[in-house]
Structure 1
């Protein structure tokens, strides 16, 4: 019979060393984990349903305002108002502004969007704007998350079907569960090399619809800017599927001011700035160039004034609208041809009780969305306003104005 093994002093020291090593490793993993530095307070129950407004207000006054510096526009989700500032995303009661939930991380916020009754928040870490979390808009409950290499600055937008995260060197398209459907541009560690159609391109602007992703890019081998039309959800997310890609030759297309402004199922609208007179040709006014689903030019429409750097495109229902910086244009949903225009606009509109509300100086102007005819105006005293663009949203009977890094609620 073998004698029982006896523990020596060396055995005990080795066991202690292993235990300490495991403990230190666990602490390091915990300190670096995504959950560390996160403060999440979930609503005890879903927010009560908010009924859509059936009538327009006859007067307005400010009810509350809060910082909203990380959002680029007024956001609502589910039955709450969504704000984002200094690393914190909040769901707020539309009437009181009271926080019903919040989600906070000790990282800078790159962008926030609201879609599918969810809130999508992207944070910056050492890999760029790579940490994205999806939360229930009504409760703040964490639904899913994703992490991937991204640029240090991105523009996060939603088209109703997909989410587009656009950086200078790279973009990604995500579906409703944050699964990536497409990566385009720079790839840090390609699983399958040589799947990207071009290398070293700067992504100038992009916009998406459920059927098309249009990218204006500048590639080293090209003589000018290139318009590339892609499938937003190809069979393989790492292998872009191009419907067409063309170097643009239209006057103004290689200007840094040119940008994709609207995308439908089979059309792309690109803003072209005015061009100066030359010895061989007269200058051209600002224009909206429309391309088909493969990137071929269809039509060019002159604009009454050039866009400023504040210009932005939005979609309300099926109608695309362009805010030029001082004018609102409504486009035909099928052809992207300008239908009507309103001057003295201060920002992007919202729909309420069947009418379009447009921010204008000292007022909100009520507009017939079909004809663009101004119907009436609501006076408004805007506090702490210095001419910045205004983004409107409506939830129930509450009108929201996002401006000057703050969100103002009006009833």
Structure 2
């Protein structure tokens, strides 16, 4: 019979070393992991669905405020008002501002938006604004996530089907599961060699509908800006499919609105003054007309590639500086304009509400006729204001602060 196997001191030391190495490796993975660096607190019970207000308010009183530097416009997702500031995202009760769910990482937020009844939070790491997490609006539960190279600053713009992350040199389009359907601009040439139609371009502006993404870009060798129309979901996300790409007659252009068949582009440096040019889906100029924008309006055009808009059904209202331009939904022709606004409005009970100095003012969305003005105390804030609603609550994005108003 064989003698029982004995473990030598060397065997014991080796086994101990292996255990230590495994423990250290596990600790390193934990220290570096997203799980350790993330705090997620979900709602005790789902937030109720919001019921839109039946009529515009006759009075407005402050309800609550919260820091939200990461939202460009008020974000509302499935019953929650979503705020984002520093490294944390919160889902708040619209009436009280109480935090019902939260999500925090050890990274700085780039942007937060609402799409597909979820909050979409973009965080900055060594690859730019590349870490993306979606959170269910009603509960704060984590949904799809993704990570990919991005610029150091991005703007998020959605059309109900896709969400685009737009930087100055690169953009991506995602579907609701956060799978990338398109990358355009600066890419890793080792992974996608020669797939992009141009290189070294600066992306100036973008807007989309489910069937088409419209981009204004400035490219080396071009005499002016370029209008490029893209498929938002080509067969291969790394190989853009261009529907059309044409040089514009001047520089400084911005995309104002996009329909299923046309796009409206602001030409602030056109001969004779600012104009809106409408192009077909194949890049053919359809019409061009002057718009009543002041020098101060044009100076207010920032580096952000996305202009605030609100679709009313009859028109799409785009805010440029202190002027609202209403473009017809059928042909993108200018229907009306009004000066003295502070930002984009919102629809309530059939009326278009726009922020004005010390008030929220009603406009007829079809004609632009000015109605009553409801006073608002903004506590000394005089900068841009973007409106949205969460049921009966009116929301104002005042720079890095979100304010809620009730009637």
Aligned length: 398
In structure 1, the gaps of 5 or more residues are 276-282
CA 1:38–1:384: 2 relative to 1, 3 Å: farther
Q: Which residue of 1 aligns with 2:89?
A: 89
Structure-2 separation of matches of 1:364 and 1:221: 46
Per-residue deviation at 1:190?
4.6
Q: Which residue of 1 aligns with 2:202?
A: 202
In structure 2, the gaps of 5 or more residues are 302-306
SS in 2 for 1:348: coil
Structure-2 separation of matches of 1:361 and 1:317: 23
Please point out which of 356, 363, 369 is paired with 1:373. 369
Per-residue deviation at 1:263?
1.6
Q: Which residue of 1 aligns with 2:304?
A: none
Structure-2 separation of matches of 1:167 and 1:95: 34
Q: Residues 364 and 371 of structure 2 are in contact (CA less than 8 Å); yes or no, is this contact kept in structure 1? A: yes
Bigger mean CA offset, 331-340 vs 183-192:
183-192
CA 1:189–1:68: 2 relative to 1, 3 Å: same
Structure-1 separation of matches of 2:310 and 2:181: 22
Taking structure 1 as the reference length, the TM-score comes to: 0.93
Structure-2 separation of matches of 1:377 and 1:34: 48
SS in 1 for 2:15: helix
Bigger mean CA offset, 182-191 vs 83-92:
182-191
Q: Which residue of 2 aligns with 1:43?
A: 43
Q: Residues 331 and 339 of structure 1 are in contact (CA less than 8 Å); yes or no, is this contact kept in structure 2? A: yes
For the aligned residue pairs, the C-alpha RMSD in angstroms reads 1.6
Q: Residues 262 and 313 of structure 1 are in contact (CA less than 8 Å); yes or no, is this contact kept in structure 2? A: no
Bigger mean CA offset, 336-345 vs 3-12:
3-12
**Pairing 1:152-301 to 2, within 5 Å after superposition:** 152-188=152-188, 190-248=190-248, 250=249, 253-254=250-251, 257-274=252-269, 283-301=271-289
Q: Which residue of 2 aligns with 1:279?
A: none
Bigger mean CA offset, 390-399 vs 30-39:
30-39
Q: Which residue of 1 aligns with 2:359?
A: 363
Q: Which residue of 1 aligns with 2:124?
A: 124
Structure-1 separation of matches of 2:110 and 2:338: 32
Q: Which residue of 1 aligns with 2:34?
A: 34
**Pairing 1:35-74 to 2, within 5 Å after superposition:** 35-74=35-74
CA 1:294–1:315: 2 relative to 1, 3 Å: farther
Q: Which residue of 2 aligns with 1:19?
A: 19
Q: Residues 310 and 346 of structure 2 are in contact (CA less than 8 Å); yes or no, is this contact kept in structure 1? A: no
Taking structure 2 as the reference length, the TM-score comes to: 0.93
Structure-2 separation of matches of 1:135 and 1:268: 32
Q: Which residue of 2 aligns with 1:334?
A: 330
Structure-1 separation of matches of 2:142 and 2:219: 39
CA deviation map 1:323-355 (0-9, x unaligned) = 011111111112211111111111110011111
SS in 1 for 2:193: coil
Q: Which residue of 2 aligns with 1:393?
A: 388
Per-residue deviation at 1:192?
4.3
Q: Which residue of 1 aligns with 2:319?
A: 323
Structure-2 separation of matches of 1:259 and 1:190: 32
Structure-2 separation of matches of 1:117 and 1:355: 24
Per-residue deviation at 1:309?
4.8
- Is 1:308 aligned with 2:303? no
Structure-2 separation of matches of 1:226 and 1:287: 16
CA deviation map 1:178-231 (0-9, x unaligned) = 111101111125544211111222222211111111111122243332211100
SS in 1 for 2:102: strand
CA deviation map 1:265-299 (0-9, x unaligned) = 12122111135xxxxxxx51111111111222221
SS in 1 for 2:330: coil
- Is 1:384 aligned with 2:384? no
